[in-house]
Amino acid sequence: MRNLLIFILVLVVIWWVRRALSKPRGSDPRAAGRRGGPKNAPEPMLACDQCGVHVPESEGVHDDNGFFCCEEHRRLGVRR
């Protein structure tokens, strides 16, 4: 009998952990807010002015002429 109670307890714990790990969409806004901190904020994707590839702003290079995906394309400049 005691083993059965422990078994049920284990099942309840597994169910509870799985429920906590699955992402509740909109059911608990406070939990969602904690998960999506400033670090997880979406980063703007910018198009390279040389080749047109979209890269995250932090991975590209800014200069006076525009935004480029890499140092090489910044040297080449804006393609007209």
Amino acid letter, residue 72? E
Residue closer to Zn ion by CB (options 31, 71) is: 71
18 Ramachandran zone, left/alpha/beta (phi>0; psi -120 to 50): alpha
Indicate the residue whose CB is closest to Zn ion.
48
Residue closer to Zn ion by CB (options 13, 65) is: 65
Residue closer to Zn ion by CB (options 14, 62) is: 62
Token pair of 16, please? 């509870």
The three-state secondary structure class of 19 is helix
Residues of the shown chain interacting with Zn ion in the complex, contacts defined by CB under 5 A: 48, 50-51, 69, 73
Least separation, in Å, of the C-beta of 9 and Zn ion?
58
Token pair of 37, please? 């901190």
